[in-house]
């Protein structure tokens, strides 16, 4: 299969590109390298530097492509609050540009990676795909708007689309930017180096954490189906973990106590968010295989080597 991955040099995109290439697909990656590293890509993956809003470049890359994975996006929730114009331009504008080019190139299928963040605060947990979306940050709004474009334009122009709402992905090699780092990579680094982890609120807020290999498995399965039976599906572990329990699991993974600081003056975001993955189980045959402790141990082994090398 001939595949294009936008944002394919990022954390999730790289793992996906390498998996597809290993399975014999012809994979191209488009990435502006604002948050990715091309050196992590399999040498068999064709890399192209560029912006997902560049329609002429997209036209040239999409000729002969069977399936597009659209991962390119700005992804930091706190950063989106500071730079909503940039998030709208890249996330929404980039999606519309891709859809326009895909129409002209006669691409058959687009798989869009959305986010569990679109749900916002929900009373019913685990959250199902038919729950009303309640985005409460510019990042989440950009994902909802992109979803609507994908579904509407796909229907109008005859492109088969699949939207996967992916929850909190973690694993070896996840970037650790100086600000707004993902919670697991931030906590692990602090635990490994003997620092303190900061719990916002009281640590009772909960999330759904998914190991990188399981997230990639769901994405790959979506391209292998003859037809997409469900247009929108949650992709998560289906297991609710409080942030305080996450720190307990990290202590077990690293083999040492972790010092905790509590900051109740900073918002901890939505109180609960866990995915109902029934549709993905049925439609994709998706079943997460790596539990939290195992995933943290695998990630810890990678991060310990990184710390030792420094």
Could you give the CA distance from residue 143 to residue 95 in angstroms, rounded to a whole number? Answer: 10
**CA distance from start to end of the chain:** 40
Q: Which of 69, 87, 139, 170 is catalytic?
A: 139
Specify whether 139 is catalytic.
yes
Write the DSSP string, 53-119. Answer: T-HHHHHHHHTT-SEEEE------HHHHHH-HHHHIIIIIIHHHHHHHHHHHHT--EEEEEEEGGGG
Tell me the CA distances in angstroms from 128 to 54, 120, 132, 174, one per residue in order: 35, 12, 9, 27
Helix, strand or coil, per DSSP, at residue 168? strand
Quote the crossing angle between the two packed helices 94-105 and 55-62, to the nearest 10°.
40
Query: Count of CB atoms within 10 A of residue 43's CB?
Result: 7
Could you give the CA distance from residue 280 to residue 295 in angstroms, rounded to a whole number? Answer: 21
Residue pointed to by tokens 């504008």: 93
Structure tokens at 205: 């807020």
The closest of 141, 164, 7 to 72, measured between CA atoms, is 7
Could you give the CA distance from residue 142 to residue 52 in angstroms, rounded to a whole number? Answer: 15
Structure tokens at 284: 């994709």
Residue pointed to by tokens 């990715």: 36
Residues belonging to the active site: 139
């Amino acid at each position: 299969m001939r595949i294009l991955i936008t944002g394919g040099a990022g954390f999730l995109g790289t793992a996906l590109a390498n998996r597809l290439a290993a399975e014999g697909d012809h994979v191209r990656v488009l990435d502006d390298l604002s948050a990715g590293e091309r050196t992590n890509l399999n040498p068999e993956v064709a890399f192209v530097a560029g912006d997902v809003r560049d329609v002429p470049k997209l036209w040239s890359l999409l000729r002969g492509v069977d399936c597009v994975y659209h991962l390119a996006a700005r992804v930091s929730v706190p950063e989106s609050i500071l730079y909503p114009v940039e998030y709208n331009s890249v996330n929404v504008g980039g999606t519309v540009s891709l859809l326009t080019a895909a129409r002209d190139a006669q691409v058959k299928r687009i798989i869009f990676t959305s986010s569990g963040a679109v749900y916002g605060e929900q009373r019913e947990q685990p959250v199902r795909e038919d729950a009303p979306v309640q985005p409460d940050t510019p990042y989440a709004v950009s994902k909802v708007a992109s979803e609507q474009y994908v579904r509407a334009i796909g229907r109008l122009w005859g492109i088969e689309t699949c939207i996967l709402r992916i929850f909190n992905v973690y694993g070896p090699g996840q970037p650790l930017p100086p600000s707004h780092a993902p919670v697991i990579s931030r906590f692990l680094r602090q635990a490994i180096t003997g620092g303190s982890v900061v719990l916002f609120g009281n640590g009772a807020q909960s999330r759904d954490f998914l190991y990188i290999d399981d997230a990639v498995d769901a994405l790959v399965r979506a391209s292998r189906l003859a037809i997409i039976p469900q247009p929108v599906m949650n992709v998560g572990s289906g297991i609710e973990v409080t942030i305080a329990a996450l720190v307990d699991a990290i202590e077990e993974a690293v083999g040492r106590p972790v010092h905790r600081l509590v900051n109740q003056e900073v918002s901890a975001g939505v109180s609960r968010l866990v995915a109902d993955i029934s549709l993905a189980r049925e439609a994709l045959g998706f079943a997460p295989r790596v539990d939290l402790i195992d995933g943290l141990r695998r990630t810890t082994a990678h991060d310990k080597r990184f710390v030792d090398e420094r």
